[in-house]
Amino acid sequence: MKLMPYLMFTKGACHEAFMFYAQALGGEIVSLIRYSDMPDSPEHIPPESLERIANIHLIAGGASIMGSDNVMGGAAADDDDGRNDTTVNVEVETVEDAERVFAALSAGGQIRMPLAETPWAIRFGMFEDRYGKPWMVNCMKTP
């Protein structure tokens, strides 16, 4: 199991920030998915946000960091309050581990995205735990 920072950006800054991080850290972007690439995005994502980043993954020196543009937060996603949210991302090796960790950590919390397959993961889900802290569980597809 790995714990990996997951950075949420306001105002669509994710792509620019990750290009900077890749250059500054000598890393490589190994995955970049836009909201327009997601199944059912047009139904759930504002049209002006479809080209924003749904998931990006940078590897640098054996470490990983992931991120996305916050388009699900309503008006707060574009407020100019200077706040960026950080979510703890748990990367696991198997579907069984993903299901176990997701169920255990989300118990008593609020599920934001049920555990399911995505373009980048065999299983991915999002939730706030019972203490209001945001989490993600990823069981990544192998490139």
- Domain of residue 125 covers 2-140
pLDDT of residue 73: 62
- Collect all residues with Cβ–Cβ distance below 8 Å to 43 and sequence separation of at least 6: none
Taking only the tens place, the pLDDT of each residue in 70-88 is: 887 644 444 445 445 678 8
Taking only the tens place, the pLDDT of each residue in 101-132 is: 999 989 999 999 999 999 999 999 999 888 78
49 and 35 Cβ atoms separated by less than 8 Å: yes
How is residue 101 written in tokens? 């960790």
Number of domains in the chain: 1
- Collect all residues with Cβ–Cβ distance below 8 Å to 94 and sequence separation of at least 6: 139
- Picking from 140, 142, 54, the residue whose alpha carbon sits closest to that of residue 97 is 140
What CATH number should be reported for the domain holding residue 46?
Answer: 3.10.180.10
Predicted TM-score (pTM) of this structure: 0.70
